[in-house]
Amino acid sequence: MKANQQKVKCLCSYEETIGTLSELTTDQGFLIARVSKVRLALPIEMENKLLPMIGTRIGILRTDLPGKEYLFRVIADKEKTALMRENARAPESCEAST
């Protein structure tokens, strides 16, 4: 194996990878997704769903559910999440103007 090549990982049932999706390529009939430092082998059919997520922090979970073998979710940015929580706690100043 060349020094710049990285092994491709296959997820086991109920194993999840979380990181920033930076690249999608195809190789031997599989979709290869680079999620942070991990190269992940996925079904080629996921390409259209994941393509808009490039540059986004996501989680990809493999399940044993028929028709839902792979699920993905967007992971909220910690800074945005903290800001949303802060805004949710702050009382709104709402005075009626007459």
Q: Does residue 37 fall inside a structural domain?
A: yes
Question: CA distances (Å), 35 to each of 38, 41, 58, 73, 91, in order?
Answer: 5, 11, 8, 13, 39
Number of domains in the chain: 1
Q: What is the pLDDT along the chain (98 residues), one digit of tens a residue?
A: 344 457 999 999 999 999 999 999 999 999 999 999 999 999 999 999 999 999 999 999 999 999 999 999 999 876 566 666 666 765 554 444 44
Q: What's the CATH number where 13 sits?
A: 2.40.50
Q: Does residue 43 fall inside a structural domain?
A: yes
Structure confidence by residue, pLDDT tens digits, 55-68: 999 999 999 999 99
Domain span at 46: 8-89
Q: Does residue 46 fall inside a structural domain?
A: yes
Q: Does residue 96 fall inside a structural domain?
A: no
Give the count of alpha carbons within 13 A of 5, CB side only.
4
